[in-house]
């Protein structure tokens, strides 16, 4: 449960964020949200138009946090390769998966233009950041000229998102790390 200082609206948003991460949109009932938030029956409709509206607010906030965390690793010091490595190796709870990426497996999120938008935008933004860094690496001669920055950026993102799938299938975060090490060995500039 949440601190007494948190408003009902805040508790509803934070509970929804957690439940979306754990159970997805389809698996999250309004009842479960209210229970976790310790909020009364009418409170969801007092603050939000309904479950989709509350979920949209929750997803947007999660997306913002994810961007901030990724930005920290990507805009840090070091060569382009080192910044990509920092992003890939940043502390993650691989068994929990990505709170944004996991929403793509949710039929109701993918079917809704509105709910899918913040997911699409976040992944797009990440891809652009990564493509910019790969491009920099090409200019500095760290990466081969034959590589396409957009494609490599998509491969990096896919390795992260798919790494969660491997980790959750195996029930162990090590499977995530193995995929990341493989990608880093392919990207590593010649000494």
Asked whether 12 and 39 are in contact (CB, 8 A), the reply is yes
Q: What's the chain's Rg over C-alpha atoms?
A: 19
80 binds a second copy (CB under 8 A): no
Cα–Cα distances in angstroms (integers) from residue 142 to residues 79, 89, 147, 184, 188, in the given order: 9, 19, 11, 13, 8
141 binds a second copy (CB under 8 A): no
Structure tokens at 122: 């976040």
Site map 89..118 versus a second copy, x via CB under 8 A = --------xx--xx-xxxx--x-----x--
Asked whether 130 and 87 are in contact (CB, 8 A), the reply is yes
Structure tokens at 160: 């992260």
Exactly one of 119, 128, 129, 173 binds a second copy (CB under 8 A); which one?
119
Asked whether 11 and 37 are in contact (CB, 8 A), the reply is yes
Which among 9-17, 42-50, 78-86, 164-172 is the span making contact with a second copy, rule CB under 8 A? 164-172
Please state, in angstroms and rounded to a whole number, the distance separating the CA atoms of residues 157 and 80: 16
Which among 8-16, 58-66, 77-85, 166-174 is the span making contact with a second copy, rule CB under 8 A? 166-174
Q: Which is nearer to a second copy, 73 or 147 (CB)?
A: 147
Q: CB 160 → a second copy: shortest distance, Å? A: 6
Interface residues toward a second copy, by CB under 8 A: 22-24, 26-27, 97-98, 101-102, 104-107, 110, 116, 119-120, 123-124, 127, 146-148, 150-166, 168-171, 175, 178-183, 185-187
């Amino acid at each position: 449960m949440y601190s007494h200082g948190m408003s009902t609206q805040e508790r509803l948003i934070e509970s929804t964020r957690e439940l979306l991460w754990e159970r997805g949109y389809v698996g999250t009932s309004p009842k479960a949200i209210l229970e976790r938030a310790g909020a009364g029956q009418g409170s969801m409709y007092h603050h939000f138009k309904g479950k989709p509206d509350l979920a949209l607010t929750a997803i947007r906030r999660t997306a913002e946090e994810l961007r901030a965390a990724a930005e920290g690793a990507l805009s840090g010091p070091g060569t382009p390769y080192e910044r990509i490595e920092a992003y890939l190796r940043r502390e993650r709870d691989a068994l929990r998966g990505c709170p944004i990426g996991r929403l793509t497996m949710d039929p109701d999120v993918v079917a809704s233009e509105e709910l899918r938008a913040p997911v699409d935008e976040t992944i797009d933004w990440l891809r652009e950041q990564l493509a910019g860094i790969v491009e920099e690496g090409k200019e500095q001669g760290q990466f081969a000229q034959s590589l396409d920055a957009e494609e490599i950026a998509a491969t990096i993102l896919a390795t992260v998102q798919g790494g969660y799938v491997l980790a959750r299938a195996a029930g162990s975060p090590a499977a995530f790390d193995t995929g990341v090490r493989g990608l880093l060995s392919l990207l590593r500039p010649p000494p």
